[in-house]
Chain A
Amino acid sequence: MSSIWPQLEPLLARVQKPARYIGCEDGAATPVHAQHKVSWLLTYPDTYEIGLPTQGLQILYEILNERSDAVAERAYAPWSDLEALLRQRGLPLFSVDTHRPGGDFDVLAFNLSAELIYTNVLNCIDLAGVPVRAADRRPEDPLIAAGGHCTFNPEPLADFLDFVVLGDGEEAVGEITEVIGAWKRGGRASREVVLRDLAQLPGVYVPSLYDVRYDGEHLASVTPRFPDVPARVEKRTVADLGQWPYPKNQLVPLTEVVHDRLNVEVFRGCTRGCRFCQAGMITRPVRERPADQVRHMIDSGLRRTGYDEVALTSLSTADFSGIEKVVADTVGCGSNISVSLPSLRVDAFTVGIAAQLQQGRRTGLTFAPEAGSWRMRQVINKLITEDDLYAAVESAYSQGWRRMKLYFLTGLPTETDEDTMGIAELSRRCVELGRSHVKGASVTVSVGGFVPKPFTPFQWFGQNTVAELSRKVGLLRDALKRDRGVQLKWHDPKATLVEGIASRGDRRLGPVIETVWRRGGVFQEWSEHFDVRLWQDAMAEHGLSVDWYTHRHRTEDEVLPWDHLSAGLHKDFLWQDWRDALAELGLPDCRWTPCYDCGACTGYGIEHIVASATPPAGGSQGTGQLVFLR
């Protein structure tokens, strides 16, 4: 079959936002399929408007389409209205590029960015006409793959995925293409043949090639079934981001999506060492893109796309060496161009940057103090002082901003009510500072429940219960009730619970995810679809304890479901960091201080690539010392 467009077209008149199904984006490839090519359907298992801007997916889309032995298209989860029509008419999941059926591809590769999209992965596999369980698939079915941050614990999805890629995908997709291409040329023998070959590639994990043993409720071991299968799968890391200036042709959607702007990744990895942050732990070391390349990507990107906004993305953009200069050059390169820095550390946000940013159109500003007290921030190693925050906030208000967003976590290890209430105190003080500059100054405070993640020092911590998180949110709500300048928002503690179940779950969660999906539990990231009861009931039916998986503190000697995978970090480094956290001891950023051997560089023979050997000016930079307001 080639294209289902003729059958799809009449349905689009009856669904919401049909433009998300037509493709036609500027930057889209013109895929040419051929027998000798390995065809990939890169699938984001949520809606088009959420999935389209995903940088990882766009990068791999370009890299694969540049190869002569591969072709890549994109798919997104159709919204419920279209899905119902597709199922009614027996039509499958399709690519938006040429509207080809999902089942016609060699590989269906999913981007796993969050736990709540797991049931959508099953739904997409099923909608593509592929058996949801890997064990039920035939040689002619597509291989089901996954990449993205959640793959550092893919065990809850182990029953459904054929293979998983850990870490950066830029190099791995080419190697995988070659292995699958050879398998196709050899007549597509059994799936185990190609999976055994894929398991030889660094960074590729094939769950079905491992035996899992339990000792009562505890995991005893995960061991390879064959001698040639690695006992531990190491993540992939691109050594030099400068060699990968992707996406070169960022997709420009015709309909509104999130992050609808030019996005330029300025560096990958972060060693600030925030202990709750999985992204910072698993993407080490820091690899900066050369400033000239950044400038070129901004300049050519703006000209090609017609966007008037560019976001400089990374895990902490103000840490980029020479950030002020890049922002100044960008704002100066055209009228009405605005720059947004979506992830800003307050101790690196200076009046200088604020002044540069406001030359363009002012975009929203978000700071993430993460915790309300200095004690708590030492525990989580987010070593910014209150004065750092006030200096940053003051910089912004003095440069004309009227409101900003502050992000906090609650439910952190050792958190007391005093720490929680610190959030209210900090927020109030920010508004007061703002009022000395602008009359209507306000802050939006977002509070999320903390979910412990694999490969972080907090992976042993027992997550707060829904009742406890709700109580803490309640404290803040009461405290801030009368503050007109502070708008409080919070993440649903029930959603936090489900994220927690899946985050550190093992293979026994597979049937739970399948049950939730079969009962209609899709689009769980959307509050109108999310249903915690589906999850609680399915856990109970499969004899699993929510408390055991989520709220229990884990012990040092416990086998963790991801122990046979590696993000480079030594487990004893993580354990020591966990002990340091409980002792309220901070750990400096190794970018500018001597190495403490976490394992991420030494294990792979790579190192930081940073243009500046000193931290950005402006704040206390983790020293906890006072900073002078400029």
Chain B
Amino acid sequence: MRYRIRFSKLGKIRFTSHRDVARIWERALRRATVSVAYSEGFSPRPKLSFGLALSTGHESLGEYLDVESLGALDTEELPARLDPCLPVGFDVQAAAEVEPGIASLQQAVTSCTWRIEVTGVGEADLDARVERLLAADELVVTRERKGRPVTDDLRPAILSVSPAAQTAAGAEVVAELATQPRGLRPSELVSVVTDGDDALEEGRVCRLHQWVFVDGARREPLPLLSHATPTRHAEACAS
């Protein structure tokens, strides 16, 4: 049986990598005595699949994981069962059974909403910089992909950007960035915003939502439980 789990990643543990998170989950599921199915072969691996990788150092309120379980799980009690088995900063927010043939998270997610901070910049300056980007017909950049330079137009991947808000170290925007056909990472957006200005740097970045299309409507792969409190550990961890 296949289950989808939604979790947050906040505070100090945001410095763990995507691979680290996979291992953390493998251990957590064993600690919680969830019987995960294993692959066949010479070195069997637990059948877990993660969504789009979150860059090391970025936080998230909407991470997902699909688990192939050998037995039925009580999805109501699953968050409370898993939380104590996870390091401080990871919080399970929701769990639900999904159909076995459902598209993988990597395939299904079409865009993500991010909160992106840029340090060393004022609110108005950031707004002006974003406006220039949005006004452009195309934003052609050359990026390194698999060791080869590739020229891409980033403009279609910028779906929306909110007005800037002041933070202690600079200003932040909320932006929705496409993940398909050619995705745009928050760091890439920051680098076109700063446009070579060394005084400006990427600050805190948090993934707020991942989006899928179901019957033409945009929604989250798993809605939040109404009673979820995603920031249980965030303060303790960041201190």
Binding site for B on A (CB under 8 A): 3, 5, 9, 12-13, 17-19, 21-26, 252, 254-256, 303-308, 336, 361-362
Give the complex CA separation of A535 and B28 in angstroms: 47
Residues in B whose Cβ lies below 8 Å from that of A308: 26, 30
Count A-B pairs with CB separation below 8 Å: 64
Q: Please report which residues of chain B, range 94-131, place their CB below 8 angstroms from some CB of chain A when the two chains form the complex.
A: none
Contact of B15 among A18, A26, A304 (CB under 8 A): A18
Contact pattern, B 1-36, Cβ under 8 Å of A = 1, otherwise 0 = 000000000001101110110011011111100000
| A13 engages B239 (CB within 8 Å) | no
Residues of chain B within 8 A of A361, CB atoms compared: 43-44
Q: In whole angstroms, how far apart are the Cα atoms of A240 and B237 in the complex? A: 40
Q: How far is the CA of A305 from the CA of B89 in the complex (A)?
A: 17
B57 contacts the other chain (CB 8 A): yes
Cα–Cα distance between A305 and B27 once the two chains are bound (Å)? 7
Q: In the complex the two chains form, what is the Cα distance from A305 to B86 in whole Å?
A: 10
Which one of A254, A256, A304 contacts B13 once the chains associate, using CB atoms below 8 Å?
Answer: A254
CA distance A17 to B17 in the complex (A): 8
Please state if A255 and B17 are interface contacts (CB–CB under 8 Å): yes
**Set of chain A residues within 8 Å of B20, measured between Cβ atoms:** 19, 254-256
- B42 smallest CB distance to A (angstroms): 8
Judge whether A306 and B27 touch: CB under 8 Å: yes
Contact A12 B24 (CB under 8 A): no
- Asked if B158 is an interface residue, CB under 8 A from chain A, the answer is no
Which 6 pairs, one residue from A and one from B, show the smallest C-beta to C-beta distance?
A306-B27, A18-B15, A306-B31, A306-B30, A22-B12, A19-B16
Residues of B within 8 A of A24 (CB): 12-13, 87-89, 237
Known: A256-B23, A336-B38. A22 touches B43 (CB 8 A): no
Contacts of A26 in B (CB 8 A): 87
Give the CA-CA distance A252 to B31 in the complex, in Å: 12
* Contacting residues of chain B (37-74) with chain A, CB-CB under 8 angstroms: 38, 42-44, 56-57
Residue pairs across A and B with Cβ atoms less than 8 A apart, 8 shown, are: A19-B13, A19-B16, A24-B12, A255-B16, A255-B17, A304-B31, A308-B26, A362-B42
The complex places the Cα of A26 from the Cα of B13 at a distance, in Å, of 12
B239 to chain A minimum Cβ distance, whole angstroms, is 7
Cβ–Cβ contact A254 & B19, under 8 A: no
* Chain A interface, >50% SS class: loop
A254 adjacent to B24 (CB under 8 Å) = yes
Minimum Cβ distance to chain A for residue B26 (Å): 7
Q: In the bound complex, do residue A306 and residue B43 qualify as a contact, i.e. CB atoms below 8 Å apart?
A: no
B172 on the interface (CB 8 Å rule)? Answer: no
Contact A21 B15 (CB under 8 A): yes
Let me know if B91 is at the binding interface, CB within 8 A. Answer: no
Report the Cα distance A305→B88, complex, angstroms.
15
How many residues of B sit at the interface, in one of the four size bands? 20 to 34
| B87–A306 touching, CB < 8 Å | no
Q: What 9 additional pairs, Cβ within 8 angstroms, besides A21-B15, A22-B13, A305-B27?
A: A13-B57, A18-B15, A22-B16, A23-B12, A26-B87, A255-B16, A256-B23, A306-B28, A306-B85
B27 A307 Cβ-Cβ under 8 A: yes
Assembled-state Cα–Cα distance A252/B13 (Å) = 14
Q: Write the chain B residue with the least CB distance to A303.
A: B31
Q: Are B15 and A12 in contact (CB under 8 A)?
A: yes
User: What's the Cα separation between A12 and B16 when bound, in Å?
Assistant: 11
- A18 engages B30 (CB within 8 Å): no
Q: Is B202's beta carbon under 8 Å from chain A? A: yes
Classify the secondary structure of B's interface with A: helix
CB proximity of B82 to chain A, nearest CB, Å: 11
Whether A19 and B17, one on each chain, are in contact in the complex, defined by CB atoms closer than 8 angstroms, is: yes
Measured CB to CB, the closest approach of chain B to A254, in angstroms, equals 5
* Chain B residues in 8 Å Cβ range of A19: 13, 15-17, 20, 56
Q: Which residues does chain B contribute within 8 Å of A5, judged by CB atoms?
A: 239
Q: How far is the CA of A307 from the CA of B27 in the complex (A)?
A: 6
Q: Give the residues in chain A near B57, CB-CB below 8 Å.
A: 12-13, 18
- In the complex, which residues of chain B have a beta carbon less than 8 angstroms from the beta carbon of A305? 27, 31
Q: In the complex the two chains form, is B16's CB within 8 Å of A254's CB?
A: yes
Question: Whole-angstrom distance between the alpha carbons of A167 and B217 in the complex?
Answer: 68
A378 to B10 alpha-carbon distance, docked (Å): 59
Collect the chain B residues with CB atoms within 8 Å of residue A306's CB. 26-31, 85
> Which residues of chain A have C-beta atoms less than 8 A from B44's C-beta?
336, 361
Q: How far is the CB of B204 from chain A (nearest CB, A)?
A: 9
Asked whether A22 lies within 8 Å of B31 as measured between CB atoms, the reply is no
With both beta carbons as reference points, the residue of chain A lying nearest to B31 in the complex is identified as A306
A24 to B90, CA, bound (A): 11
Q: In the complex the two chains form, what is the Cα distance from A255 to B27 in whole Å? A: 12
A26 to B85: give the CA distance in the assembly, Å: 9
A136 to B43, CA, bound (A): 56
In the docked arrangement, what's the CA distance between A18 and B11, Å?
Answer: 13
In the complex the two chains form, is A22's CB within 8 Å of B27's CB? no
Contact of B87 among A13, A254, A336, A362 (CB under 8 A): A254
A336 to B26, CA, bound (A): 12
Q: Which residues of A contact B13 (CB under 8 A)?
A: 19, 22, 24, 254
Q: In whole Å, how far is A74's beta carbon from the nearest beta carbon of chain B?
A: 15
What are the residues of chain A within 8 A of B38 when measuring CB–CB? 336
Q: How far is the CA of A317 from the CA of B213 in the complex (A)?
A: 56
Closest to B38 in A: A336
Q: CB-CB < 8 A to A25: which residues of B?
A: 87
User: How far, in whole Å, are A336 and B38 apart by their CA atoms in the complex?
Assistant: 9
Contacts of A254 in B (CB 8 A): 13, 16, 20, 24, 87
Nearest chain-A residue to B25 (Cβ)? A306
Measured between beta carbons, the chain A residues less than 8 angstroms from B26 are: 306, 308
Report B115 CB to chain A, min CB distance, Å: 16
Give, as a whole number of angstroms, the nearest-CB distance from B43 to chain A.
Answer: 7
Distance A618 CA – B42 CA, assembled complex (angstroms)? 28
Chain A: minimal CB distance from B164 (Å): 20
Best-surrounded residue of A18, A21, A23, A307 (most CB of chain B within 10 A):
A18
Question: Among residues 178 to 233 in chain B, which have CB atoms less than 8 Å away from a CB atom of chain A?
Answer: 202
A5-B29 Cα distance, complex, nearest whole Å: 30
> Least Cβ distance of B39 to chain A in Å?
11
Quote the shortest CB–CB distance from A15 to chain B (angstroms).
9
Cβ-closest chain A residue relative to B56: A18
Report the bound CA distance from A18 to B239 in whole Å: 16
Residue of B nearest to A5 (CB): B239
> With A and B bound together, what is the CA distance between A460 and B23 in angstroms?
48
Contacts of B56 in A (CB 8 A): 18-19
A residues less than 8 Å from B237 (CB atoms)? 24
For residue A137, give the distance in angstroms from its CB to the closest CB of chain B: 32
Give the residue name and chain of the B residue nearest to A302 (CB): B30
| A residues less than 8 Å from B27 (CB atoms) | 252, 305-307
Tell me how far the C-beta of A208 lies from the nearest C-beta in chain B, rounded to whole angstroms.
40
CA–CA, A22 to B57, complex, Å?
11
Least Cβ distance of A248 to chain B in Å? 16
Q: Say whether B15 contacts A22, CB under 8 Å.
A: yes
